[in-house]
Amino acid sequence: MSQSPFQKFTAKKKNSVIKEEYRQEKKKVRAEKNAYFDKLKEEKYQAMLAKRAARAGGAAKAVTGAAVVAASATKAATNNTPKTKVGPPLLTTDVAMPLNKFLAHCGVTSRREAVELVTKGLVKVNGAIATEPGYKVQPTDEVIYNSKKLFVTKNLVYILLNKPKDYITTTDDPQGRKTVLQLIQKATTERVYPIGRLDRNTSGVLLLTNDGDLTQKLSHPSYQVKKIYEVKLDKNLTKADFDKIINGLTLEDGPVVVDSLAYADSKDKSIIGIEIHSGRNRIVRRIFEHLGYDVKGLDRVM
C-alpha cells in the first residue's frame, strides 16, 4: 500500500532521528574538511622538499655512494615510524580564503550574512576596514570583528533546538527582545549562530552551530533544502484554495510553488501540512495570507 500523503505530517520524526541525521552530516563534512587540509599540508611539504632540492643544486651531484646508502637507510627508518594524524590547525588558512568564508569558519555568522557585515564596514583586516567580502585572507592577516581577533574555529558544536514562540532568531537584538541564544547560553562556550530563521511567532526545529560548511549547505538556495511546517489557520482551507497553492501563487515578490501540501487532520481542514524549499521571508504565512487566511499557529517539524 502506498504511503498516505498525510503521514509525513501526522507521523513526525522523533528528535533522536533528526539528531542522528545531523550527526551523520556533521561527520561527513568533518571528514571532507580534514581530507582537504591534509592534502594541502602534503602539497606544502612536497613543495618545501622540492625547493630545498633546487637550492642544493650541484651539491647534490657530489653525493658519494656511502651517502646514498645512508640516505636510503634514513628513509626506510622514517617509513617505519608510526604516523600521528594531526587534525586541522587552529588557523586553517594555509591558503587564501575569502573573507566572508573566513568569518563563517570563525563562527561569527553564515557566509551570506558575513557579506553584509563586511559591506557595512564592521570588519577590519590588518587595522583597516574591509569592504570586499571576497578579499582573500592570508595566513598572516589579522582579522578583527567586534573588537576581537578572529581564529578559525577548531571545536565544532551542533545544537538542535525546539524553538518556542516569542523568541527571535538572531544573535542579539537592539530592542531587547528575547533571542534564541538565551535559550542555549549554558549549552556551550563556543560562539554559535542559527541556521536559517524562524520568525518570532513561529515555533519548531532550529539548528545552531559554528560549522560554516554545514551552514552553507543547509541555508544556501542552491542546495534546495526542503522544510516541513504544520500550519493552524483561522478557518478551514477550501478545496479551491488548496488547488491554487498546489498550482503556484504569485506574491508581491514573485511566484512561489510548494513541494507538497496536505490536510494534516482529515476531520479538521484548518490544520495543514506544507513542504517547501523556498527560504524567502515569512513565505509560509504570506502564502495563506494572500488567500485571506489568518495563520494562528506555525510550527516547523523538519
Of all residues in the chain, the percent with pLDDT exceeding 70 is 72
Q: What is the pLDDT of residues 10-62, one digit of tens each?
A: 555 566 666 677 677 767 767 776 676 667 667 766 766 666 666 655 443 43
**Is pLDDT above 60 for 194?**
yes
pLDDT of residue 14: 62
Other beta carbons less than 10 A from residue 103's beta carbon: 29
**Is pLDDT above 50 for 83?**
no
Is residue 27 within a helix (H) or strand (E), and if so which, with residue range? helix 15-56
Question: Cα separations (Å) of 273 from 9, 19, 73, 148, 199?
Answer: 6, 22, 70, 44, 18
| Range of weakest confidence among 4-13, 134-143, 220-229 | 4-13
Classified by CATH at the fold level, domain 157-209 comes out as: Alpha-Beta Plaits (3.30.70)
Contact 220, 259 (CB under 8 A): no
Contact 276, 226 (CB under 8 A): yes
- Residue 199 known to be catalytic: yes
**Is pLDDT above 70 for 105?**
yes
Question: What's the mean per-residue pLDDT of the chain?
Answer: 77
pLDDT of residue 53: 63
Q: What is the CATH number of domain 226-300?
A: 3.30.2350.10
Give the 3-state secondary structure of residue 239. Answer: helix
**Is pLDDT above 80 for 144?**
yes
Q: Which of 166, 173, 199, 234 is catalytic?
A: 199
Question: Cα separations (Å) of 31 from 24, 86, 87, 257?
Answer: 11, 13, 10, 35
Classified by CATH at the fold level, domain 25-52+87-152 comes out as: 3.10.290
**Is pLDDT above 80 for 270?**
yes
* pLDDT band with cut points at 50, 70 and 90 for residue 70: very low
d(CA 243, CA 241): 5
**Is pLDDT above 50 for 8?**
yes
Of all residues in the chain, the percent with pLDDT exceeding 90 is 20
d(CA 107, CA 113): 12
Contact 88, 31 (CB under 8 A): no
Q: What is the pLDDT of residues 201-255, one digit of tens each?
A: 889 889 998 887 788 888 777 777 888 999 999 999 999 999 999 998 889 888 9
Q: Where are the domains of the chain?
A: 25-52+87-152, 157-209, 226-300
Partners of 206 in the β-ladder: 161
